[in-house]
Structure 1
Amino acid sequence: MNAKAEVDIVTHLAVCASQDWARVDRIVVGNFVTASQAQRKWYTKVLNKVSTGDYRLGANSANIIVQNRMTGQLEEEKMQVYVRLGIRLLYKGWKGRMEGARARRLLKSLSIKQGMKYDSPDSVRDIPPFIEFHKLNKEEILRPIEDFKTFNEFFYRELKPDARPVEKPEDPYRLVSGADCRLMAFESVTEATKLWIKGREFSVARLLGDAYRSEAERYNGGALCIFRLAPQDYHRFHSPVDGVIGPMTYIAGEYYTVNPQAIRTALDVYGENARKIVPIDSPYFGRVMAVCIGAMMVGSIKTTVNEGDTVKRGQEFGYFAFGGSTIVLLFERGVVEWDEDLLINGRACLETLVRVGMGIGRSHRAPSPVS
């Protein structure tokens, strides 16, 4: 399909929307689609135009469509008011230097105040409506709901040991998802910046900060993936590979939303947000850089491992306090081959909903001693 045809389809949907929104909901959101249908380029291109591209049905609605990998179904991501507020602040307040500085201060203030609120005992009253709003599965939570003393305790809750099994636990060459998240996978950093990450100042060196700037070169031409965690997701993160934890470093920064529409602006969200760099030295995947990025309303990034610890695939190594957040994984050149469905969705700018332990790729390299 060419650009004009795409515009014609979007225009048609917009005309339908002006008469009956429910009809468009049935077309774009309500329908069940198979994985093969969702992978057709024309389908995902048009969907992207409707949901996150230049053409947005319902301006400023910040709607996001993802594909649930387990069901093949397209789902609209549920978003609470504070997220929409942050997105609007980001776009409407970024037109000038003075407005941008004011938006930064306001977002940081909101994050700090929200964090204090959710650390207070009174915040437990917010747990039941949060569960109801996001239709969370209470059966997989390790502790009874009434045991949580604050909302934040609930937010970084642990799950039962069998809730997130690791695919092919006997095969260390199988790469697994490190989070319940919306995943984007790319064969190279260049492809990621062409299709998804639009920040003008984004670079691997800037992402890694001063402590690891000298290692940026080793990731040129290497694969990259993005685990984006929405507030409703399980917020503990796990190792995607077998390996040894290297020296970790924290980089102070901003608290911008990691919503896709923020990532696809000129602002370098990943390079400006607060983040923690966690290297994992793997005999099967080389040095994997896990960049744990805080976002709007995230006041802390906690790691539950120490330098020198050995981790297995699917083993927890940290968690985020309340808010949305992201983990960017960097791989050396020629190491990773992604599963085909993830690549197809990535090229169509469609995020894939995956869970901890789900297989997402394979290693190409023979095992070598850990450096």
Structure 2
Amino acid sequence: MEIKFINRKTGEVQIETPPGEGFLKLLYNNPFGKMLLLPLVKRKFLSEWYGRKMNAPSSTKKIAQFVKDLNIDMTEANKSIDEFSSFNDFFYRTLKPEARPIESEFISPGDGKLLAFEDVADIHKFFVKGRKFTVKEFLNNAELASTYKNASLLILRLAPNDYHRYHFPYNGTPTTSVKIKGDYLSVSPYALASNFTKVFCENKREYCILKTETKGDILLAPVGATMVGSILETFTPNQPVNKGDEMGYFAFGGSTIVILIDKNQIKIDEDILTNTKNNIETFVKMGEKIGV
């Protein structure tokens, strides 16, 4: 199984090789892994244990090899490799402001591979990665799901080598977040291909609504993942924010942000929609324009 995506800046089709590829294939593509290992990996104690391990000072010895293996550009970071106090400190590192310029219009809230649907109802026509995905199941709220039943849907998947802080895609005022309980399932491409619905509708997640003056209510939902102990907010609810202001960050692991927008107010860029229809993700960076 090759994991392909479009590099938006170059237009090239590239192949992603997730860290721990062999283990992920065992978990999600192998009957033995699904039966015996996956239930263990989903347990909260394992995620919390690994989170503590990544917070330990001794975990800094993992950073240099991780950077080398995944070809991470450390010139963008505010700290050098030897300045981090733990692997997690490195993992949710902050970047220099010039590393992620904030472009015009509606922007990506983070770095990652993006799928986008102009109308969430379209998912019933060709599904996502071959699996049905409903807003009602994801939000666990029928009334709220009805509000967004014809919204545009964006799914931004962060890989472990990506910048793991996420930001507001537009000016507005965010509500208090609502937490939805769930497991810590991987959001790797192997997990998505195996059972897209389970990953998004049974994973630990939360959402807040960014209320804007001119573009309607934008729903922003971070999704946790295997080995991620928590989704960490850094914003103050009910206080105005500017486009590009930080919303929060993820600890170690792959993670995802699901976004629902009013399709009559914001139009997703056509190249992203076309790539999605061709069943391929588009790599974008935080601050990059993805709609108007």
TM-score after normalising by structure 1: 0.73
Distance between the aligned counterparts of 2:166 and 2:258, measured in 1? 12
Does the Cα contact within 8 Å between 2:41 and 2:226 map onto a contact in 1?
A: no
- Distance in 1, matches of 2:276 and 2:189, equals 13
Separation in 1, partners of 2:4, 2:211: 35
Provide the residue aligned with 2:232 in structure 1: 302
Supply the distance in 2 between the matched residues of 1:152 and 1:262 (Cα, whole angstroms): 23
Contact conserved, 2:18 with 2:188, CA < 8 A, in 1? Answer: no
**Counterpart of 2:187 in structure 1: which amino acid?**
V
Q: Structure 1 310/357 Cα, relative in aligned 2: closer, same or farther at 3 Å?
A: same
Distance 1:358 1:251, change over 3 A: same
Q: Which residue of 245, 266, 273 corresponds with 1:336? A: 266
Which of the numbers 181, 187, 199 marks the counterpart of 2:112? 181
* 1:233 Cα deviation after fit: 0.1
- The whole-number CA distance in structure 2 between the counterparts of 1:262 and 1:189 is 22
The letter of the residue matching 2:215 is F
Deviation at 1:222, TM superposition (A): 1.2
Go from structure 1 to structure 2 and tell me whether the alpha carbon gap of 1:118 and 1:293 turns closer, same or farther (over 3 Å shift). same
Checking the alignment, whether the CA contact within 8 Å between 2:28 and 2:194 is kept in structure 1 is no
- Alignment partner of 1:222 is 2:222: no
Q: Which residue of 1 aligns with 2:202?
A: 272
For residues 128 and 207 of structure 1, the distance between their equivalents in structure 2, rounded to whole angstroms, comes to: 37
CA distance in 1, matches of 2:208, 2:193: 25
Q: Which runs of 5+ in 1 are unaligned?
A: 1-55, 57-62, 169-173, 363-371
Whether the 8 Å contact between 1:250 and 1:276 is mirrored in structure 2 is yes
Report how far residue 87 of structure 1 moved. Answer: 4.0
Please state if 1:348 is matched with 2:278: yes
Supply the AA of the counterpart residue of 1:195. F
- In 2: Cα distance, 1:333 partner to 1:132 partner: 41
CA shift, 1:197, in A, is: 5.3
Instruction: Using the TM superposition, give the Cα deviation of residue 69 of structure 1 relative to its aligned residue in structure 2, in angstroms.
Output: 0.7
Among 175, 184, 196, the residue aligned to 2:128 = 196
Aligned partner of 2:54 among 108, 115, 118: 118
Residues of 2 paired with 1:303 and 1:106: CA distance? Answer: 24
Q: Give 1 or 2 for the bigger CA radius of gyration.
A: 1
Corresponding residue number in structure 1 for 2:177: 248
**CA deviations over 1:274-308 (Å, ceiling 9, x no partner):** 11212111123211111100112211100101211
Deviations 1:7-33 (A, max 9, x none): xxxxxxxxxxxxxxxxxxxxxxxxxxx
Find the counterpart in structure 2 of residue 16 from structure 1.
Answer: none
In the TM superposition, residue 259 of structure 1 has moved relative to its aligned partner by: 2.2
What's the CA shift string for 1:107-140, capped at 9, x where partnerless? 3354333222211111000010011011111111
Query: d(CA) in 2 for partners of 1:342 and 1:85?
Result: 30
**1:230 to partner: Cα distance:** 0.1
Match of 2:92 in 1: 156
TM-fit CA distance, 1:314 = 1.3
Q: Does the CA contact (< 8 Å) of 1:86 and 1:107 recur in 2?
A: no
CA–CA distance in 1 between the matches of 2:123 and 2:82? 43
Deviation (angstroms), 1:265: 4.0
The percent identity for this pair of structures is 35
Contact 1:120–1:150 under 8 Å retained in 2: yes
Asked whether the equivalents of residues 219 and 333 of structure 1 are also in contact (C-alpha less than 8 Å), the reply is: no
Q: 1:114 to 1:242 in 2, by over 3 A?
A: same
Alignment correspondent of 2:42? 107
Measured at CA, do residues 197 and 189 of structure 1 come closer, stay the same or move farther in structure 2, by a change above 3 Å?
farther
Q: Which has the higher contact order (CA 8 A, sep 6+)?
A: 2
Aligned residue among 3, 8, 17 for 1:78: 17
1:309, CA displacement in angstroms? 1.7
1:113-169 per-residue CA deviation (whole Å, 9 max, x = no partner) reads: 32222111110000100110111111110123222110001000000111100112x
Whether 1:69 aligns to 2:4 is: no
Tell me what 1:208 maps to.
Answer: 139
Structure 1 counterpart of 2:63, from 127, 134, 137 = 127
Q: Give TM-score, length-normalised by structure 2.
A: 0.92
Unaligned runs of 5+ in 2: none
Which of the numbers 72, 75, 80 marks the counterpart of 1:136?
72
